[in-house]
Amino acid sequence: MSYLTWQRLTLVGLCSVALAWLVTVVMEGGGATPEPVPWTVFVVCVAAGAFALWMGWQVRRYLKGDKPDLDGMRAARTAVLAQACAYAGAILVGAFLGYALGLADEWSHTPRREVILSALLGALAGAVLLASGAIAEHWCRHGGDDEDRSEPSAA
């Protein structure tokens, strides 16, 4: 498993922005009414981020020697969870920003403004999930093994 890089997360987020903006413009051009982002998105993202941080903290304590009874598989699963949260957060930030950008030309229309603000709140929730996942993944890194450096041996 390779570590998270900001370059990959940025690329995922930018692709998500472009796709969401395109879909929003096409749908609105076709007469679709934009819907606000549900407030539960924020709650779920914050809860998932808090869970990833809590699990990552347990692995960090294990790596420091404060929690010797933690299972190695749990630590690996926590690292995978943390990366999944970071990537999902990058996708959500991009998708909600793209949605808001697609509607930005109608800022003066009050109902559209409320949809744009809900999309920006959703993007903030995605940013919380992204940051939590990145922090938890960083806590799961073991000091000595940067990557799997073993190369297949020629037989």
pLDDT at 143: 65
Q: Is residue 151 part of a domain?
A: no
Q: Determine the pLDDT at residue 146.
A: 47
Instruction: Write out pLDDT tens, residues 74-121.
Output: 989 999 999 999 999 999 999 999 999 999 988 888 888 999 999 999
For residue 101, being part of any structural domain is answered with: yes
Is 61 a member of any domain?
Answer: yes
> Domain tally for the chain?
1
Band (pLDDT 50/70/90 cuts) for residue 150 is very low
- The predicted model scores a pTM of 0.86
On the question of pLDDT at 33 being above 50, the answer is yes
Q: Tens of pLDDT along 115-142?
A: 999 999 999 999 999 999 999 999 988 7
Q: Which helix (H) or strand (E) holds 136?
A: helix 110-139
146 found inside a domain = no
- Residue 145 within a domain: no
User: Would you place residue 20 in the very low, low, confident or very high pLDDT band (cuts 50, 70, 90)?
Assistant: very high
CB neighbour burial string for 49-63, b if at least 16 within 10 angstroms, e if fewer:
beebbebbebbbebb
Is the distance from CB of 93 to CB of 6 less than 8 angstroms?
A: no
Closest CA to 103 of 43, 36, 49, 152: 36
In whole angstroms, give the CA distance from residue 36 to residue 56.
33
Q: Residue 33 burial (CB < 10 Å; 0-12/13-18/19+)?
A: exposed
Quick: pLDDT tens for 40-78: 999 999 999 999 999 999 999 988 888 788 888 998 999
Task: Band the pLDDT of 149: cuts 50, 70, 90.
Answer: very low
The answer to the question of residue 149 being in a domain is no
Q: In this structure, how many other beta carbons lie within 10 angstroms of the beta carbon of residue 96? A: 26
Q: Domain span at residue 124?
A: 6-28+38-139
Task: Note the pLDDT of residue 6.
Answer: 92
Q: Is residue 128 part of a domain?
A: yes
